[in-house]
Amino acid sequence: MAVTIGQIYESLGKYEKDNYFLKNAEPQKFGQGWEKLGEHIEMNEKNYKLVAEGKNPATGQQLVDTRNGHRPGYNLTFSPDKSFSVATFSDPELKQALLDAHHAAVRDTLQYAEKELAQVRQGQDGEKIPVKTQNFVGFTIDHTCNRDGDVQIHTHAVVFNMSYNEQTQKWQALHSDPFKSNILEKIYENQLAYYLQQKGFSVEWKQSESGRSQYASVAGVPEAAIEATSQRAAEIKEAVEKLKEQYPNATPGELKQIAAYETRPDKKEMTLKQIENQFQSRLTDVGLTKNDIVKGIEQARQQWQEQKLENIKMNEYEVVKQAYSVLSEQKAVFSSQELLKTALDISKGDVSIEKIQNAVNDFIKDKDLIKLADDLKIKNGSRTYADSLYTTRENLFAEKNIFKITESLQNKFNPIYDNQNALNEIRAYEKATGFQMTESQTKAVETALTSKNGVLIFQGYAGTGKTTVLEALQSIVEKQGYKIIGMSETNVAVNQMKESKIDATTVTKFLNSPQLKSQVNSNTILVVDECSFMGARNMEKILNIAKENNARVYLFGDKAQLPPISAGYPFKDLQDKNIVTTVEMKDIIRQKDPELKQAVESIIKQDIDKAFEKLNVIELKENLYRETAKLYNEKGGYKDYIISTYTNVDKNNLNNEIRSLLKEQGILSKEEHSFTIYSPQNLQGSDKLNIHNYQVEDRLVVNKSKAGMKVGAELTITSIDRQNHTLKAYAVTKQGLKEYQIDIRRHGDHFNAYSAEQRNFSIGDKIIFNANLREDKQLKAANSEIGYIKSIQGNQITIQKGKETLTFDASKFQYFDHGYASTTYKAQGKTAQGAIYFAPVHENSPQRSYQDFYVAISRAKSNAFIVTNDKEKLKEQVKNFAEKESVISAEQKHNLNLDPVCKDLSTEQQKTVQAKDQIDLSKHFKVHDKNEKQGTKWQLLPGISYQSCKGLIFSHTKAKDTWLSLLTGKHDTFIKESKVVLGKERGAKTRTEYVKEKTFSGATKLKGITVSVNKDKSYVTITKWSGIVDRIKDLNISNFSNTRTESFSINVKSLKLDLDKLKNSTQDKDKIKHIEKAQKHLDKLADKADIKHYEKAKSELKKADIDLDKIREQSRTESISKSHTSETFKSESRISTRTSTTERTISNEKAADNMRNISSKSISTSESKSESVSKSDSHTQNISRGR
């Protein structure tokens, strides 16, 4: 781990040992707190102890209240990867460059920590709230080796437990919660990678053993050298294996901690010479020399330099936009720390933290990011800290619009029945079905039939019979000519509605189907089930469709069950704000056992202690999987029991144990059939953008249409380049196999990932479908449905699913798995005779929640069991709600008023539309494509349509996707036209013809001609250029390298006058004809800004033996000779919506120069080779992005 936080040493002397190898031999003070305490104070043994006790070292005065005990401070240890230390000890020149990068990364991390994490707890309104103080009192000191004497460069940053609170004018102990985060590790690793690359090193990102984080390593250092100098790590690893039997339920992290403690040796007292000798000896043992290390680093650097053109880095705006995009899909609001963490996960050293923070501020200025407030009390699990809170424009509008639409649909409809007739219909239905509804069911149906409101909520607790209400409603409303269209986020709920004879589909399919949406009219009731799963964006879309078609929306669900994965929590917010009629359904009919029913009722009332008294709780200290499997089999769970747990690891282990017992009992055939299945990885947020989460043969399923790939398309990964964050995958198409190269950091959020795994199946196995099974476009089995294997013949598996039998080819449909245990999310909406909640509690295991517990137990009709290793800890965990904060709930919780913000944004949007109405073509593309039908109409904005003559015109709303597809698609040439429609230059035109010369994995080589005409058409500027363009998501023409441009201007009037003189000086009619034609083409050039007219003018004059270029020069036309940049070209490139700083303008050259400088003494290369490398590197340069 790169940054660890622990207790400080009891004396300064312990820090002062082992620092002779480095320049910073003395402790280096840091922190703004020293200004208050006294900058003159020396860091010696006496003062160290006084400050550690919270005292003023100058006077001995007690500054910090220690009556309740006092922690002396925090020891932040910054440890780069072992490759760093190996490289440092291999060469003196490399050493200084590496240490400079390390110290800069430590400095940046501590600066962030002081600004954001230096907090104290202060009393306010009867509670303690975190308050930022932004000052530390601390020092840093460098060390060189570990306890075994193996090289391990690391820096100790000692933060004393005291900070000055300006509000109270007192010194206080630091609030510890802000330190309980991995944000410092992420900052340090990003900054280290950033500075290493600036100094010319190639950086490789590796996965930690736990799989939870990645770290930056110096590329090129042999793995054998790393292993040889990691004796301590090897000891711990060996001890972990031995401890697994002794602590079977311990997590990998817990085992590692125990192993480290039990094998901890006394620290060796070694001289510098001894450390270096040991290092040399370790290398010799594996057949390596220091020169081998240096050569490996240089080779990696050269490969990195060669790849730079094909793998252009992300800029800060890409990083931040991608960060808030993936965050906002799941979280309606997020803290500054969450945004920074996600951005750093994406950056991987491409941009510095400073650039990221500047980009965040720019997005705030442009109102793409909305800062809700500064320094709010943020709660993350058990931690609380002060931080800023953000949302996005899209999430803010979606949530506010939900309330706006809902309010507009209240009291707007005629009742379907009056009160008396509604009751008569309900009684008639009961008589016809022989089923008497409960009081709350009757109330629900009656309200649905008699309400004048367009939106109704049915809050139905688990087991209260929502399905019965829907069946009755469907039967009654169709008599009045109404049609119910049902939908849900889950296939389980969709199938249940279909069983109730309601036409139903998934929300995703409904929203993406023009045909389904066209069926909605004033006689439609949109019924949405399992609404607790629905995020704000989908809810707003459904309500908009209802409003546009004067339809009703009935929302069914249970706000006490699991919250949505996507952003927002509209079903709960609408109830909490009490702006819509809500019918509560509390009469539980599912649970037949009185004790179980009382337990569920207690859970609903949030009386967890009483619920545990009524439930069967089995507390075990070992063999939890085996004992749970035995319980499952003893209770006959094979056919009608649900085991739910929190993690996929627990689920898979339980499935294996259950299958083993079922084989012993003869319920499953002992003959195994092995198949490759694809198991959902359930990657969320920035995890989708992490290349280390993918393996060869994994399956990617498109969830957002991209670059010609349709939603649902499947790709199989064939190779992975982890250093450059790219992978290759193929798709099976009608034309054959098609290969794609995918930049995961840029496009990973467009896919759902499935792991390729081998599974054994037997006749009798219970399986679950993890995707929809379709044959000839007909749905045969839905996602989450259960079946039992009847036979296996080769790849053909026949299953019994309810009352039907179906067969599928397991080599073609591979999304199924063992179905005995499932996650709680998969269990929601299902019912079984019995339920087992598997809930072990470990130090590093995920926290269970109230919702998780409630869903697991309420699935059962007759019996429910809890299996855990710690009943009391579990009980305390499930008392806590899994908080899902929305914009609306954040507004209420933090006492904010976001209505003025929405009003400002709405006004801004209206202005934008008005500007677009003036048809500013600078935001559109015209693509010349012979395959397109002429005259095709394309609707771009509400109320506006354009008719293209030669191709397509794309609106600004789609421009970024268009730009990317143009750079990667089938068009070899394309044209962009712009016209100034506002301001002093109204009427000025620019037209650029682009030609693609070559496409790399991350860039496209373009050449082009730009023609610019001023507003009175008197001057034309022609610019010819070529260069490499970065393919980024925003509408940017940017980051050109190897750019060459030739630009010249034409005074059209002057040139025509000169041609008139030539025309008047000759009697040759043919010559006069050609001159006149050339003059007309010059007029068209000024009018159309089309380069072809200049070429035609040249051609006509050539027929008259006149050189147009020579005439142009003689006409005293301003000429600009070849150069690396031109103002005209820069002006053209300013269509970009984001600007990158000049940071990378010369960074590649500087990096190459730095690397050559630090390695020149160590690597023997010829002068000619060095000169060649120099020319190659200097050939690559970037022009900073125009805004």
Residue 564: which CATH number? 3.40.50.300
Q: What is the pLDDT of residue 962?
A: 52
Return the structure tokens found at 483: 């049609």
Point out the domain boundary residue: 557, 585, 613. Answer: 585
Same domain, 1089 and 1147: no
Measured distance CA(1167)–CA(1176) in Å, rounded: 14
Measured distance CA(976)–CA(927) in Å, rounded: 8
Same domain, 1045 and 1161: no
Task: Give CA angle at 507 (502, 508), nearest 5°.
Answer: 135
Whole domain around residue 25: which residue ranges?
Answer: 3-307
Give the H/E segment covering residue 77.
Answer: strand 73-78
Same domain, 1127 and 1146: no
Q: Which residue has the tokens 């949302």?
A: 391
Same domain, 85 and 101: yes
Asked if residue 616 belongs to a domain, the reply is no
Same domain, 1151 and 1131: no
Q: What is the pLDDT of residue 567?
A: 94
Point out the domain boundary residue: 270, 291, 307. Answer: 307
Q: What is the pLDDT of residue 440?
A: 94
Q: If you compute the radius of gyration of the chain from its CA atoms, what whole number of angstroms results? A: 35
Same domain, 1162 and 1127: no
Cα–Cα nearest to 694, from 743, 767, 657, 653: 743
Asked if residue 401 belongs to a domain, the reply is no
Return the structure tokens found at 29: 């003070």
Same domain, 1154 and 1103: no
Asked if residue 1044 belongs to a domain, the reply is yes
Measured distance CA(520)–CA(527) in Å, rounded: 12
Q: What residue ranges of the chain have pLDDT lower than 50?
A: 20-24, 910-961, 981-983, 1032-1042, 1116-1187
Question: Cβ contacts of residue 541 below 8 Å, gap of 6+?
Answer: 511
Measured distance CA(87)–CA(101) in Å, rounded: 13
Same domain, 58 and 199: yes
Return the structure tokens found at 742: 């995918």
Cβ pair 1039, 1010 in contact under 8 A: no
DSSP 3-state of 130? strand
Please state the domain count of the chain: 4
Measured distance CA(674)–CA(617) in Å, rounded: 36
Asked if residue 754 belongs to a domain, the reply is no
Neighbour-count burial of 299, counting CB atoms closer than 10 A to its CB (0-12 exposed, 13-18 middle, 19+ buried): middle
Asked if residue 986 belongs to a domain, the reply is yes
Asked if residue 391 belongs to a domain, the reply is no
Q: What is the pLDDT of residue 1165?
A: 31
Same domain, 430 and 290: no
Cα–Cα nearest to 710, from 769, 770, 750: 750
Beta strands at 119-124 and 163-165: parallel, antiparallel or unpaired: unpaired
Same domain, 152 and 115: yes
Point out the domain boundary residue: 585, 617, 643. Answer: 585
Asked if residue 15 belongs to a domain, the reply is yes
Measured distance CA(623)–CA(572) in Å, rounded: 40
Cβ pair 100, 195 in contact under 8 A: yes
Measured distance between the N- and C-terminal CA atoms of the chain, rounded to whole angstroms: 39
Return the structure tokens found at 300: 């990696």
Question: Cβ contacts of residue 111 below 8 Å, gap of 6+?
Answer: none
Q: What is the pLDDT of residue 168?
A: 92
Q: What is the pLDDT of residue 1115?
A: 60
Strand segments, DSSP code E, in 1014-1086 are 1019-1030, 1044-1051
DSSP 3-state of 1022? strand
User: Cβ of 334: how many Cβ atoms within 10 Å?
Assistant: 26
Same domain, 183 and 267: yes
Distances, alpha carbon 113 to alpha carbons 138, 157, 904, in Å: 12, 11, 34
Q: What is the pLDDT of residue 844?
A: 65
Same domain, 1095 and 1159: no
Cβ pair 868, 602 in contact under 8 A: no
Cβ pair 1036, 1138 in contact under 8 A: yes
Measured distance CA(386)–CA(403) in Å, rounded: 30
Q: Say which amino acid occupies 1065.
A: S
Asked if residue 318 belongs to a domain, the reply is no
User: Cβ of 11: how many Cβ atoms within 10 Å?
Assistant: 12
Residue 909: HSE in the Cβ half-sphere, 13 Å Cα cutoff: 13
Measured distance CA(48)–CA(12) in Å, rounded: 6
Cα 200 to the center of its chain, rounded Å: 29
Neighbour-count burial of 245, counting CB atoms closer than 10 A to its CB (0-12 exposed, 13-18 middle, 19+ buried): exposed
